Amino acid sequence: MNDLTEWIKLLGGLAGLTALAWRIVDEFGSYLRIAVKAEVPKDGWVTVLTTVDNKGNRPKEQVLTS
């Protein structure tokens, strides 16, 4: 019975390490890039342009449409 619990502990530890490695790869694989551009007032109006890109280091799957 003691051997079985050791195997269960080992498998749980390996699953945890795999999940941690997957999360680290996922964390560094995607990020948000936010840009803000403001223009000087013209006729009392200020123009502000914001851009948000969800870029990533890994290639994304292409969706084929027919």
CA distance 11 to 50: 47
Q: Which residue has the higher pLDDT, 63 or 44?
A: 44
CA distance 60 to 63: 9
CA distance 45 to 33: 26
Side-chain half-sphere exposure of 47, counting CA atoms within 13 A:
5
Q: What is the pLDDT of residue 56?
A: 66
Q: What is the pLDDT of residue 40?
A: 85
- Tokens 């999940």 belong to residue: 19
Query: Whole-prediction pTM value?
Result: 0.46
Rounded to 5°, angle at Cα 32 from 57 and 17: 55
Encode pLDDT of 19-61 as tens digits: 999 888 777 766 777 899 998 888 888 899 998 887 666 666 7
